[in-house]
Amino acid sequence: MKTSQLFQTALEPDALHTFFHDVRQTSERLAEPLSDADATVQSMADASPAKWHLAHTTWFFEAMVLKPFVPAYKTFDEDFHFLFNSYYETLGARQPRPRRGMITRPTLSHILDYRKHVDHALDALLRASPGQRVAELVELGCHHEQQHQELLLTDILHLFAQNPLHPAYRDPRPVTVETADLSPLSFTAFDEAIVEIGHGPVGFAYDSEGPRHRVLVEPFRLANRLVTNAEWADFVNDGGYQKSLLWLSEGWAKVQAEGWSQPLYWEERDGQNWMMTLRGFQPVDPTAPVTHISYFEADAFATWSGKRLPTEFEWETAAQGIAIQGNFLDTHRFRPKPASPHVGGLQQMFGDVWEWTRSAFLPYPRFRTVEGAVGEYNGKFMSGQFVLRGGSCVTPPGHMRASYRNFFPGHARWQFSGLRLAEDA
């Protein structure tokens, strides 16, 4: 199956050129507050240093576009191919992921020189009308870099959370709490239907978002908003982390092995819940969506509530036709935002927190991987992962679609992940 059948581009040459430069500049702006040490340290095996994110996204353009399509291109540094490959087996050996923090050299400034070198070559290629295949790969590279912009921030948050000084990535002043009180959850009903799921033929999408296909969705009801910190505190206070019957077996094993008793980054200080944020250590906002919880925690909370998590097909059915607006990276809030008590219907479908679904990340009917190295992008991860939908407060604007399928293993907590409840109708 050809790349054009799965990674189609909807951008004209000038728009693609602008998109490329906007994405590249955004990554560097996100790195501006960081010292060389901030950008080098790796806080855990699942996270990567900011310096690595900046270099890997550059390596992607060099390895996938410049080397194959520009015979005269001069590689910036041959060693970078080993240092900054991520998981592309077809492209050779790489630095082991848990040891990316050992790459103390090259320096951050040298990585920025690498970015300039590759940007200059890509700029010349894009000005030369390179053709559809190159345009598709460049657009894929831009969306790939937007994914790493979000990862850069979540990984920096995890790193700074290990520091006893609780440093702030950005302005440490608390964000305004805009909602003093929220009404109880309400539920929107959806009838049984055969629905079209997945991305259509127009516009960019990852291969895992298609092919578009029909799914029978049984009657269900979906909560009007996300679960809040206050509601999660009730779960904690009721002993939710001590009641084994609420938990899936693997989740209960994690609770016991790792001592989970509250969301990642929560701490109690003088009888009040505080949490680590990108704005430093802040009081927990009771009306904001709970975040930094695993699939196992989300599922246990849903069981405790007498509800369940939605399937990804139920979520997409509800999201179709809703404007893709919300609390994304461009708000510079860097924290989930409370729902409005004055708005009816479904809220917070996009932005704030990624929403765990009960669906495993599996291929859609008739799915086939793309030919070549980019075929390793998603398909090889369709095992042992759960789907999340909707984006978060650090997802770049314009990167989200109703069909977008994010995925992480069930124990992952360091992402901006939360939940919305569902029930059978």
The answer to whether the CB of 415 falls within 8 A of the CB of 179 is no
Mean pLDDT check: name the lowest of 309-323, 331-345, 372-386: 372-386
Dist. CA 257–CA 70, nearest whole Å: 51
The reported pTM is 0.95
Q: Would you identify the CATH topology of the domain 187-424?
A: paralog of FGE (formylglycine-generating enzyme) (3.90.1580)
Mean pLDDT check: name the lowest of 163-177, 215-229, 404-418: 163-177
Q: Domain segments of the chain: what residues?
A: 3-161, 187-424
Q: Which two tokens stand for residue 114?
A: 């690498």
Contacts of 256 (CB under 8 A, 6+ apart): none
Cα dihedral 225, 227, 228, 232, rounded to 10, equals 170
Mean pLDDT check: name the lowest of 35-44, 80-89, 114-123, 294-303: 80-89
Amino acid 10: pLDDT: 65
Amino acid 373: pLDDT: 79
